[in-house]
Structure 1
């Protein structure tokens, strides 16, 4: 057998995005392939004749993305919702999805709940299941095999259109939908970071288990936003992807951040931890020219979605800052990153 060249190690450990950049970013030219762009964004765009497709794929597992004892109905709904959120971030209309699932055994009761939630979410957004694969998962002796769920979702876009993380310009406003932080408030209690009594925990748990894909808002922003992504790993962390791709920086205003009534009841330090770096919200974070504020509010009203203007895009020469009501810069932790650990 031919010898393989020696592996070249990077000086620092790679995180999730470092792995993607180093090992799975293929810039080769394929002359007969569909033209594509958007690699590194929430969706890839494939130009097929006069049509543009938005395609996203996510892998999820019980015990990692979901608690081991999670309700299979909410697992089914959320599994598809997080993919629909990626399509929303691209401004696309959902059209179809494909499911591959690895199961340690055939548990008909679990599958009944999972499929019910999955297909209810599909019908809500007119995005049918069109294929996939089912396999059995195995584990070493003494270990427990786990359930893994992989979904590839596809949406449709007008030719040449599609929102990406690149495109934010100096002077743009920074907006966010919904009330970020609610999902992580529940996760923090589950992990033992803090404790809330009912009904607070019940509200936060519902936001974690059943995120709402902002599909209508994303479609409305298609010709308005300059950059967009969804918040899966934490607002600050996902905003940094926009800043890096757009070669700009940001100034955020903490008093402008939207907070649910439940979030307002929590200590200030917990609010900042949840809202700034918590993640698992699947809200849309986007930038747009400042002269389009009224149009954005009208789009949000038609989409029946709350949006809040939380900052502005500034020159890349300035460090990103978050300013409190006194004009003082506040500190923030790091957002979630597979292989990089949860934010502190």
Structure 2
């Protein structure tokens, strides 16, 4: 049986930092209020296109695997904040990379997008349909944020991550996964006024609306992720105490703590970076995995448990058996275009627009 080993990894985090104190300059909030409720101290704001972030993360992942882009035969990109409706962003990345032999597919499953992509890519390799797959996950969520809404504006940030999957005879990579969707709760996380269900003739079409039912999301997220984790551990025959590291979706610290308790894993094994980046949606897991490797928290043969949930309400969990290599074979000098503005300067016209729209009723 063929397996899909993770041979490359990379991330792209924009340089502009939006702190909780920055948010307090235009929202009724404070660093203490945000930190005590979410664990988030700051988040990053993108100054360019989402595809620029995806391209940098992809190039760094390719370098880590010492792979040429023309060797790829599939690119899977998880995001809901694509550059355009058509063409898809995966094709933009394929063109910029020079991946002439790769099929290109976007996956819109919100925060669950990367894990869905990892699951799809792994099983296509197992089936013999593909051999070298690039999986990307990330968001330019600040572009669609309602900056007049404290309940959502404090939570999200921009970032992107990527991994390379390659055919292997060794039993490594994503060895077990469980994905699903509680569609009856699709209302709990919604971005409205954007899409073919909304009239483009309405002035509201210019303003993305948000529906975010925090208590409902918390309850369902913890329950679904914990059950999915239990399922993948049972399927793989791995005990929870044998898990070396947990790299979960970084929604907020309360959900991370509740998940660790529900699964029965020691909090010291849970990778956390939500304080630095906030919720970067489909970017949280690949960025977290890359940083865990950079920090030396992954060893050859480790079991890495991951879990996520997102709008839909989509959810999933996966158990990864790491291969022999934890260091990149090469490094890329890929960078985003220079940024000459602060996060507040980037967001200023968006903040003004949403606050004025809200005040106008």
TM-score normalised over the length of structure 1: 0.32
Higher helix share: 2
**Which one has the largest radius of gyration?**
1
Higher relative CO (CA 8 A, sep ≥ 6), structure 1 or 2?
2
TM-score normalised over the length of structure 2: 0.31
